[in-house]
Structure 1
Amino acid sequence: MSAARRAEVEKTARLVGVDAGGLGFLAGLPGEDVRAFREQAGAALNDGAPEMLDRIAAATKLVPAPVAAAISQKALGPRLAAAVAGRLEAGRAADIIARLPVDFTAESCAHLDPRKIAGIVDRLEEGLVVRIAVALAERRDHLTMGRFVGHLRDGVLGRILERIGDTDVLRAGFYVDQPERLPRILELMDDDRLGSVVRAAAAAGLWEEALAVADAVGGEQRLRIARLTARLDGAELASLVRVTHEAGLWETLLPLVALLGEEDRLAVARLEPLHDPRVLAGAVRAVVATGLWGAFLPLAGALPAEARKAVADAAAGLGDEELDALVREVARQDLWELVLPLVELMDDTGRQRLFDLPAFRDQPAP
């Protein structure tokens, strides 16, 4: 399961109150479809709530905000208070929240109707929002943090980033509901802080989360992640390659490697896991499935001789359809200069199979 899909399944599981393992039927769906299902389920759950909530909300409007806050805390509890807040006008809900203990509010946040978040958060005092975010981090409720972070102003985000740890940043970024905000969040971190977050991914075993964040951003921020990752020591980078192989994340990692300069690419090529024929065979299969030859071949060309031979053998062992797809993609991207050195490393049988393919015969001589 891709990291993005896993995040969506876990969010859905939280919403409906079950273990993520019980939603295995969602695992094969695209992440966008799982998200749409989650949003529809959330709307149905919140819109279909009992009329009692409307009566409580109506009664809440009749008393001063401090009294309503006391009722919420003493009589309703976090879950019911969040449900009632979702039925109030955003300004009124914010007035009540401002008078509640931060820990109570943090627990309630997990149950708030996502459609109401933006309006309420925008009316809260910035310092309170920061304290709530820190409380959520302390509770390790990164999923709820991810629901809120996309609605926060830059100033608030900057203050929160100063108060929470690197792993909190990674985990919340993994669950963010507005991934279009991720580039701006990364811009708010200087290279020292972002590099610290990248190192935390290695130390805490959070490479899947880190790669999911990298996959969600582009341009300068993706390049920053690639360069800072390349500065890790050999053991840290080796752990990234192992996780990529085991979790099938080549589709995310290879575009990052493709952004590196020659020196950094050579450093990656020297990593011990990339000399393992099983790892390289998995990479080749992933590249066939995704068409990422333009990202993979420069790395393959930088590998030591034995590793390049392993790549050539893995390619030669592909089925006819896969090998045909390889040739067509190489031709489409005009990558012959990079792929022919690998063809030379194939045994006679592998080369002949390649030359006999219709896709190869249909191509003009490189």
Structure 2
Amino acid sequence: MNPEILKLARVLGVDPERLGYLADVDSYEVRLLREQVSTTLFDANLVVLERMALASRLLPASVLAKIAEKVFGPLLCARIAGLVDVARGVDVAKRLSPKFLASVATELDPRRATAIIIRIPVPTVVAVAEELTRREDWITLGRFVDHLPDETVRRCVRLLDDAGLLRTAYVLDDQRRIDHVLGLLGEQRLPGLVRTAAGDDTLWAPAVDLLAQLCEERRALVRPLLADLPDELRERAEAALG
């Protein structure tokens, strides 16, 4: 299924199959719709959220972290994250458990909290990535790749097996980042990705999508690997590589 439909379904909290009627709509248009929906949801009750963010300054960070996990919950924390002072947000985030932060990340629009995200300690981010990987939440992992420094991305993506890497790459917001991310991991990952896709037809679309984004140097490394692919996948891969 079109990755933009998958991401829109996540924002709306519905089964992707319910949005199947959007299959013929241009992916860019679906992305615009997703961003508009996300903006509408995050701006709902904005005045109340701003007051809560302002009031949070009165509490010690340790106390606020406890309230966040026990009272606010992931959704409300995600809504407030982009409204709090950056240093304050980082201080609170460091005190939250990786499991809770992973749940917040699922609800968060990272565009609104990039300044906080990039300042969270790398070990904390990696622990959250481990939890999201355990949950097989490829969409959330993919949404944060554009907002993290390269070294953090490298450490997080190394947690993924080949199938997980393909599924995460498939839902990146900026598909041009795929080649860059593979460059961070090294060319040794390419053969495994091709072999894994060959053995699982649910990975064919993510694999073809990934191949289409490779630079010419990496395309040259992949071409000799195509001979052993199933005929249909080989044809699609060759077309993607050009």
| TM-score scaled by length of structure 2 | 0.90
Task: Tell me the secondary structure at the aligned position of residue 95 of structure 1.
Answer: helix
Residue identity opposite 2:187 in structure 1: D
1:207 to 204, 210, 226: 204
1:32 to 28, 46, 63: 28
Find the counterpart in structure 1 of residue 98 from structure 2: 102
- Contact kept, 8 Å, 2:77 with 2:104, in 1: the verdict is yes
Runs of at least 5 residues in structure 1 that lack an aligned partner in the other structure: 259-366
TM-fit CA distance, 1:100: 0.2
- Cα distance in 1 for residues equivalent to 2:170 and 2:131: 18
Find the counterpart in structure 2 of residue 219 from structure 1: 216
Residue identity opposite 2:208 in structure 1: L
- Contact kept, 8 Å, 1:147 with 1:176, in 2: the verdict is yes
- Contact kept, 8 Å, 2:110 with 2:147, in 1: the verdict is no
Query: 1:140-193: per-residue Cα shift (whole Å, max 9, x none)?
Result: 100000100122222112222332222111111111112222111111223322
Residue identity opposite 2:12 in structure 1: V
Q: Which has the higher contact order (CA 8 A, sep 6+)?
A: 2
- Cα distance in 1 for residues equivalent to 2:197 and 2:147: 25
- Cα distance in 2 for residues equivalent to 1:49 and 1:217: 43
Find the counterpart in structure 2 of residue 175 from structure 1: 171
Residue identity opposite 1:225 in structure 2: V
Find the counterpart in structure 2 of residue 15 from structure 1: 11
Find the counterpart in structure 1 of residue 151 from structure 2: 155
Note if 1:242 corresponds to 2:232: yes
Residue identity opposite 1:77 in structure 2: G
Find the counterpart in structure 2 of residue 196 from structure 1: 192
- Contact kept, 8 Å, 2:187 with 2:218, in 1: the verdict is no
1:144 to 119, 137, 140: 140
Note if 1:62 corresponds to 2:62: no
- Contact kept, 8 Å, 1:90 with 1:116, in 2: the verdict is no
Note if 1:93 corresponds to 2:78: no
Query: 1:312-350: per-residue Cα shift (whole Å, max 9, x none)?
Result: xxxxxxxxxxxxxxxxxxxxxxxxxxxxxxxxxxxxxxx
Runs of at least 5 residues in structure 2 that lack an aligned partner in the other structure: none
Task: Tell me the secondary structure at the aligned position of residue 154 of structure 2.
Answer: helix
- Identity, % of aligned pairs? 34
Task: Tell me the secondary structure at the aligned position of residue 173 of structure 2.
Answer: coil
Find the counterpart in structure 2 of residue 77 from structure 1: 73
- Cα distance in 1 for residues equivalent to 2:150 and 2:46: 37
CA RMSD of aligned residues (A): 2.1
Cα–Cα, structure 1 residues 79 and 201, in superposed 2: closer, same or farther, change >3 Å? same
TM-fit CA distance, 1:243: 5.0
Query: 1:196-241: per-residue Cα shift (whole Å, max 9, x none)?
Result: 22222223331111111222333323333334x326xx3xx01xx3
